[in-house]
Amino acid sequence: MTARGLLFAALAIVVADASGAPLRVCADPNNLPFSNRAGQGFENRIAELLAEDMHRQLRYAWWPQRRAFARNTLKADRCDLWIGVAAGVQGLDTTAPYYRSSYVFVTRADRSLDIRSFDDPRLRELVVGVQMIGNDATNTPPAHALARRGITSNVRGYMVYGDYAAQNPEAPILRAVADREIDVAVVWGPLAGYFAQHSRTPLRLRAVEPPADGPLLPMTFDIAAGVRPGDVELKRDVERVLLQRRDAIAHILDTFGVPRVAAGTPALADSRRP
């Protein structure tokens, strides 16, 4: 085959891929910094990168990311890919992780509290904000870690789902630190990093140490993408792009202030130096 023939054949493959089945991504329409309907989240950016490299049209299935999210999206065949799930989560087949983050302690930078552990005795006296789900049996690891130590009377809960009618429903816990309504908050790293980056008041982030509070309460998670069990081809294609474009993905995460940790390495960041 001539060089021109090879070029035409390659173009035909690209066109065929682009005009084939779309890349159907499950996403929350109001969940910055992860995703929103306007495409402003870092998971939106990663979805765009995946679709571009896979030569497929990107299409979203929008659904609030809360209980039964997978059942109403992936398992209902409304979409095929969930970006941003804990690696190995039950009920999905997950890719190799593309970043690792942790819960962090968030304080005002001007207070120099520098809290890193749930065993810090100051947590019994300070006003502590923590993300809550509402049902104690499925609450966040930091909420359980505080309760295990009897730290409850000085704790203020902020719902993970927030006021979904408002813009940025998960931001209030960070604003409460900045406004001195609470002294310290324990927040999932990507959420904390993004809103700290946009805070007029400089905030300090310290990864929770150690990375697990006993055998059942991890504070650090590997984050991957999930597909329906048995969707081997899509998982393979997504993993290929995640690996090949790891530098571009790292740049996206940096842009959004997402703190990452390597195994055994605590995260450290001030919002003044994202």
**171-228, pLDDT tens digit by residue?**
999 999 999 999 999 999 999 999 999 999 999 999 999 999 988 899 999 999 999 9
Q: For the segment 87-140, what is each residue's pLDDT rounded down to a tens digit?
A: 999 999 999 999 999 999 999 999 989 999 999 999 999 999 999 987 655 789
Mean pLDDT across the chain, nearest whole number? 88
> φ and ψ at 131, to 5 degrees?
-75, 135
Residue range 156-162: average pLDDT?
Answer: 89
Query: Angle at which helices 232-244 and 246-255 pack, to 10 degrees?
Result: 70
Is the pLDDT reported for residue 8 higher than 70? no
Its pTM stands at 0.86
Confidence at residue 32, expressed as pLDDT on a 0 to 100 scale:
96
195/160: higher pLDDT = 195
Query: Per-residue pLDDT tens for 28-77?
Result: 999 999 999 999 999 999 999 999 999 999 999 999 988 889 999 999 99
Residue 105 exposure: Cα atoms within 13 Å on the Cβ side: 26
Domains of the chain: 3-99+221-266 (3.40.190.10), 102-207 (3.40.190.10)
Instruction: Count other C-beta atoms under 10 Å from residue 99's C-beta.
Output: 23
For the packed helices 42-54 and 232-244, what is the interaxial angle rounded to 10 degrees? Answer: 110
Measuring CA to CA, how many Å separate 199 from each of 6, 30, 66, 157, 175?
A: 53, 19, 26, 21, 8
CA–CA dist 145, 218 (Å, integer): 10
The SS3 assignment for 146 reads helix
Q: How far is it, in rounded angstroms, from Cα 259 to Cα 274?
A: 9
For residue 16, what pLDDT is reported? Answer: 39
Phi, psi of 179 (to 5 degrees): -90, 5
Range with top average pLDDT, 12-26, 153-167, 230-244:
230-244
Span 172-186, pLDDT tens digits: 999 999 999 999 999
